[in-house]
Amino acid sequence: MNSALWTQLVIFLSLLVISILFSIVKKSQPKKDFSALSLRVKTWWGMFVIFVFATLFNPIVSLVSLMVLCFFALKEYFSMFKTRKVDRRAFLWAYLSIPVQFYLIYIEWYGMFIVFIPIYVFLFLPLPQILGKKGTVGFLRSVSSTQWGLMLMVFGLSHLAYFQFASPEYGANLVLFLVLLTQLNDAVHFLISLYFGKRKVVPTANANISWEGFIGATIVTTTAAYFVFPYLTPFDVKFGIISGLLIAFGGFFGALTISVLKRDLLIGDNEKLASSGESYLSRVDSLTYTAPIFFHVIRYFFDFM
């Protein structure tokens, strides 16, 4: 416990310094758009508070907080749809799957947790629309888009909650390690792309994602993982470095996927597209990929999970 408290104190002081420096830079360069980075900093603080409470008091605090996060992320995803009346029934079933998914985490039924959304929800989600006799127009787009949202916003993010139940000893610190490195990776990528990014990966979807940002963020994240892993994880040096690479690559593909997804859903709606950068999805986009990847790699190689 003493080790965990010292680690959290160091993280708190680091976040405080970062927040102060960010405020100074923001005031000194008022013409630059730092909204994306501002969201990242807020996310750091939010996640830190959640897992401090979870570590010091009860992991159920983390479970409930993450369940609420998944609900709002999925709700925001659905708000991007050009919905029809028939789609609302599928949305209702999608929302109802969230408490079930988190209950499976609570009772530590890993076998059902890992197949509930990818298999059972996938198979039964179309039934309300089919049995409702609402026709076939738009059926595939409606069902597949809903399942995509569930996979990313609920299934992917719910892995954050399972860490502490799979490993009560290391779980909370592993999530802190994952979240901090994921957000650091995003922030460094954003800053490098803002000042030095010339080769955009998908300029039509997100101008803040560049190859220069990806390379720079990967180097910084992997280096940070090397220095942080002894305090937050039970890994050896080799896996500490590998975990940094996994998070950097996963974060890049998560942010890229969500950016393209939002662009596709919001084509023709410039007002929503302009405000989408301040959304829940923009805060958790990278975590939808890094959380499940990090979880399953650890579970495969280590007995404590």
Q: pLDDT tens, 37-83?
A: 677 677 667 767 766 666 666 778 888 888 988 998 898 888 887 76
High-pLDDT (> 70) share of the chain, %: 83
Confidence of residue 280 (pLDDT cuts 50, 70, 90): low
Specify the pLDDT at position 28: 82
3-state helix, strand, coil in the chain (%, to 5): 80, 0, 20
Beta bridge partners of 210: 200
The pLDDT, as a whole number, for residue 277 is 47
Residue ranges of the alpha helices (H) in 132-269?
139-149, 157-166, 171-196, 211-232, 237-265
**Which of residues 303 and 81 earns the better pLDDT score?**
303
pLDDT higher than threshold 80 for residue 7:
no
Between 109 and 261, where is the model more confident? 109
- pLDDT confidence of 137, banded at 50, 70, 90? low
Rounded to 5 degrees, φ, ψ at 202 are -135, 80
Per-residue tokens: 107: 């009772």
Which amino acid does the sequence have at 78?
F
Say which amino acid occupies 260: V
Tell me if 161 sits within 8 A of 54, measured CB to CB. no
C-alpha 225/C-alpha 231 separation (Å) is 10
Mean pLDDT of 94-103: 95
Whole-prediction pTM: 0.85
Instruction: Return the closest-CA partner of residue 104 out of 93, 112, 92.
Output: 112
- Tokens 């579970």 — which residue? 299
Cα angle value 284/19/45 (rounded, 5°): 40
